[in-house]
Structure 1
Amino acid sequence: MTMQNHTAGPKENRSASKTSRRVHAAGIDGRIDGVTVREADRRLLACTGPDALDTTHFDTVRFPAPEWAEELFAEAAADGSRAYSLYRGSDEVRAALAPVLTDWLGFDVDADQNILLTPGTQAGLFTSLTSLVDPGDDVVLFDPEYLFSERILTFLGANIRNVPILTDGAHPTIDFERLESVLREGPKLIVFSHPNNPTGTVYPQAVLERIAELAVRYDVQVLVDELYSRLVYPGTTFVHLASLPGMRERTVTLLGPSKTESLSGYRLGVVVAPDHVVEVAEDVLAFTSLRAPAYAQNVLKGWLVKDVEWVAERVADLAKIRQFTIAKLSELEWLKMSPQQGTAYLFVDVRALGLPDTEIAEALAREANVLISPGYQFGPGGVGHLRICFARDEEEWRIALGRIVDVLQSLYERATTAAVPVG
């Protein structure tokens, strides 16, 4: 996430609709003391200097997009007839994607019925949730989870039912006792990211099979955000939920090239879903942005095709940065972390400091000149954590990481000193 700075908070904007205020209200559940999550976001930005290292997103200078992306875009942009497409996306691009997605996902994907191209995966998330969720619907959300899943669901008036992710054992899983308890109450939808953002969790096949079995038994739809499905480290098998028995017709899968492939600036997302979902989501897309950027859509003709070896090299580079990041953070004996097998994130537990994660992130912004995502953004299970994105230039990151460790250790020493009784 890249947090945008705005000076007027929601309390100051008297013209804001009640609907828009629901977004700002997200988080008033004891996570943050006296402010909304959006107000806490703004407060953090106010602590950040203009030259701060922003680790809330990937470094697209160190990790640029593949060369073929610019070539395909330029070729399309030179042809004015490609300036417009159907709302669901170019026939040509969807036809090129269908066989590639069929191979990648492990089930038949129809170009006309199952693919919707969106302005980034974020738009795919919004249009899909809007087409599936009504005010008052119960929606299961794994916790912690990508921050905008909660905020969009809150905007839509859903009742969010959190189910904890468990990463402390030998294999990551979820709280199935809690999940089944909620499913007995008849929720409309299950929503989660895989690999998980912010923890990097990649679920073993047995966990996904259990999720699928419960979804079929309780007849519930599932939206799974697989944006990071290509950023999985060697030795780890990734299973697509929709490929499992009974899941193709009840699963919406979100994909896109914005992270692993550094194509964020092209604003491209791909929704693979049953035809009835694509039809409604296309209508939502039509009155929000009409279509994904028409020239940029053509870049998807190279995705999953021209970049297989390129992605393997990128993952190898990130694995090396991940290794030295874990080693450096491990110098803090009081800090807890359970490094997972996907994404370029580490989700570290800093509760030993005895401070709100908002204050810790603000201290890092002021004293280390580094912007880091605090855990409150990712749900109740994120409180007391930090999400650290290590997809950075190696030398720049080594220096910044040293500052981060120094500031965290200083905070720990202040906390422990303050806790020692005097006399």
Structure 2
Amino acid sequence: MTEQFDGRESERLRRTHLPERRPLLGMSVREADLSLGLDGAGGGLLDTTHFDTVRFPPPEWALESFASAYADGNNAYTAYRGSSEVRRACAQSISSLMGVDIDPSRHIAVTAGTQSGLFAVLSALVDEGDVVVLADPEYLFVERMLRFLGAEVVRLPFVETDAGLQPDLDQLEVLSRRGVSLYVTSNPNNPTGAVFSEEAVVRLARIASEGDFTVLVDELYCRLVYDDTPYMHLAAQPGMTDRTVTLLGGSKTESLSGFRVGVVVGPGPVIDATEQVLAMMCLRAPAYAQHVLTRWLVDDHEFVATRITELQSIQRSTVAQLRTVPGLRVSPGAGTAYLWPDVSALGLTDVEVARLLQDEAGVVVSPGYQFGPSGLGRFRICYAREEAEWARALERMTAALTGASRES
């Protein structure tokens, strides 16, 4: 067969390559990803870009719920925003989780994973040229989506406080006076694991209300918080129910990633608009898989408590091992299963460190450039892995990094 397509990409897709980072990286973000083979497959190496779902499998009821839905062919087609049965169940459990009153017919959309929900919401809300403030660092695909949509992206850094890393709300307040349509962040933050303090959540709500902008907050890890750290949902703050869009799901804490379901919670008009995008993009979330959400947040409290205990134990041992590397700095966050080590003192770029760990340790990490300009000189690892295998991998990683440190 003769190939007729010449490989040209649309201008909007080329924007997602983030070519403006070339002066910092020596290449675009897309070129850096390709040079490291970061396509989500792992390439046969130990891949720390996601949870180990063999060591940390989903709850048993997930398969039971899926199989029960599959047994009734009437469940194959749902409303574009999701099964009414599933939305009713989610409205009840999420209302309890977040402390807000959720109408299942108006305030919820079930999506094909949280990633699908993120893209659908951004597509529904963002116009070409809109000023969108994005946390820095933040989940790697958010800025690429915003560039695809033609937004003007302004990065908002985190600052070190007595409560740990927190968003720079002084700067956000200044930006809000200049005109902002949307602020996008995650809490707990991916990749740092930082959990917003009560003071920060209250102040963010005030700034958003006074500045009249919407906040999109990814709360995917809101249940994966350590040491009884207080957690506050932004949407529950006074005046924020109608200006907050919240992304939720069980893909990480409850290991439901393979079912590809997530939830968007927000004001009725936002959910209506999001549903239109979902209909064009994928029609609906996987219909049978939607039903695992009827038992999520309901039958998994003991499951999650055990998981948090196990993950915190792995976090402690991982931090201790990484800190044996001269010059490497790592400060664990209060949530998620990620660490965000700083290797800038080693004299290597984060691209070079990622390649070193692949070549000498057989481990795939997420290089810091993927998460924003502040990520240069860092990398992200997910330590939700089988303990013995992970201990061996950490020995290889620290040996490789120590060798690089001595050479620098």
TM-score, with structure 1 as normaliser: 0.93
Alignment correspondent of 1:19 = 12
Counterpart in the other structure of 1:5:
none
Counterpart among 348, 353, 372 of residue 365 in structure 2: 372
Number of the residue aligned with 2:270: 277
- Residues 383-422 of structure 1: matches in 2 within 5 Å? 383-415=376-408
Q: Quick check: 384-393 or 176-185, which moved more?
A: 176-185
2:33 pairs with 1:41: yes
Q: Report the Cα distance in structure 1 between the residues aligned to 2:388 and 2:166, rounded to whole angstroms.
A: 35
Q: Distance in 2 between matches of 1:277 and 1:93?
A: 19
Q: Which moved more, 1:106-115 or 1:160-169?
A: 160-169
Q: Counterpart in 2 of 1:92?
A: 85
Q: Deviations over 1:259-281 (max 9, x none)?
A: 01111010001000000000000
From 219, 227, 238, give the equivalent of 2:220.
Answer: 227
Q: Deviations over 1:316-345 (max 9, x none)?
A: 100110010011111124111221100000
Alignment of 1:193 with 2:191, yes or no, is no
Q: Take 1:187 and 1:214, find their aligned partners in 2: how far apart are those partners?
A: 11
Contact 2:180-2:211 at 8 Å conserved across structures: no
Q: In 1, Cα distance between the equivalents of 2:242 and 2:135?
A: 21
Shift of 1:166: 1.6
Q: Does the Cα contact within 8 Å between 1:172 and 1:204 map onto a contact in 2? A: no
Contact 1:231–1:343 at 8 Å: present in 2 too? Answer: yes
Structure 2 vs 1, CA of residues 42 and 303 (structure 1 numbering), >3 Å: closer, same or farther? same
Q: 1:31 Cα shift?
A: 3.3
Task: Kindly report which structure 2 residues correspond to 1:221-260, keeping only aligned pairs within 5 A, or say none.
Answer: 221-260=214-253
Partner amino acid, structure 1, of 2:329: K
1:30 aligned counterpart, secondary structure: helix
| TM-superposition CA deviations, 1:234-257 (whole Å, max 9, x none) | 220111011111111000000001
2: distance between equivalents of 1:110 and 1:396?
45
Q: Contact conserved, 2:326 with 2:405, CA < 8 A, in 1? A: no
For residues 27 and 395 of structure 1, the distance between their equivalents in structure 2, rounded to whole angstroms, comes to: 41
Residue equivalent to 2:211: 218
Say which of 335, 339, 343 aligns to 1:342.
335
Give the letter for the 2:246 counterpart: T
How far apart are residue 300 of structure 1 and its match? 0.4
User: What TM-score do you get using the length of structure 2 for normalisation?
Assistant: 0.96
* Counterpart for residue 182 of structure 1: 175
Distance 2:38 2:174 in 1: 42
Inter-CA distance 133–301: structure 2 relative to 1 (3 Å threshold): same
Q: CA deviation at 1:13?
A: 6.0
Question: Is contact 2:225–2:334 with CA below 8 Å preserved after alignment?
Answer: yes
**Structure 2 residue matching 1:227: 3-state secondary structure:** coil
Measured in 1, the distance between the counterparts of 2:287 and 2:140 equals: 28
CA contact (8 A) 1:184 1:218 kept: yes
Which amino acid in the other structure matches residue 29 of structure 2? Answer: V
Work out whether residues 163 and 197 of structure 2, in 8 Å CA contact, stay in contact via their aligned partners in 1.
no
Query: Which structure 2 residue ranges, 5 or more long, are not aligned?
Result: none
Q: Name stretches of at least 5 consecutive residues in structure 1 with no aligned partner.
A: 1-11, 416-423
Give the match's secondary structure for 1:74.
helix
Q: Distance in 2 between matches of 1:227 and 1:311?
A: 13
Matched-pair contact (CA < 8 Å) for 2:226–2:312: yes
Q: In the alignment, which residue of structure 1 is the partner of 2:195?
A: 202
**Contact 1:49 1:365 survives alignment (8 Å):** no
Q: Which residue of 2 aligns with 1:9?
A: none
Given the alignment, which residue of 371, 382, 402 partners 2:375? 382
Aligned equivalents of 1:301 and 1:383: distance in 2?
A: 41
2:315 matched to 1:330?
A: no
RMSD over aligned Cα, in angstroms? 1.6
Q: Contact 1:228/1:343 (CA < 8 Å) preserved in 2? A: yes
Distance in 2, matches of 1:17 and 1:389, equals 33
Report the CA distance between 1:385 and its aligned residue: 0.4
Q: Tell me the SS of whatever aligns to 2:58.
A: coil
Contact kept, 8 Å, 1:368 with 1:407, in 2: the verdict is: yes
Counterpart pick for 1:118 among 111, 114, 129? 111
Deviation at 1:397, TM superposition (A): 0.2
Instruction: Give the corresponding residue for 1:68.
Output: 61
Q: For structure 1, which segment, 42-51 or 140-149, has the greater mean C-alpha deviation from structure 2 after superposition?
A: 42-51
Report deviation, 1:389.
0.9
Structure 2 Cα separation of the partners of residues 347 and 169 of structure 1: 19
Distance in 2 of aligned mates of 1:377 and 1:27:
13
Query: Partners in 2 of 1:104 and 1:396 — Cα distance?
Result: 35
Task: List aligned pairs for 1:49-64, cutoff 5 A.
Answer: 50-64=43-57
SS of alignment partner, residue 391 of structure 2 = helix
Q: Distance in 2 between matches of 1:40 and 1:316?
A: 36
Partner residue in 2 for 1:419? none
2:348 maps to which of 337, 346, 355: 355
**In the alignment, which residue of structure 2 is the partner of 1:3?**
none
SS at match of 1:107: coil
1:179 & 1:337 partners in 2: Cα distance?
26
Q: Residues 49 and 100 (structure 1 numbering): CA distance in 2 closer, same or farther, change over 3 Å? A: closer
Which secondary structure does the structure 2 equivalent of 1:187 belong to?
coil
3-state DSSP of counterpart to 1:172? strand
Tell me which residue corresponds to 2:299: 306
2:76 matched residue in structure 1:
83
How far 1:37 sits from its partner (Å)?
A: 1.1
Aligned residues: 403
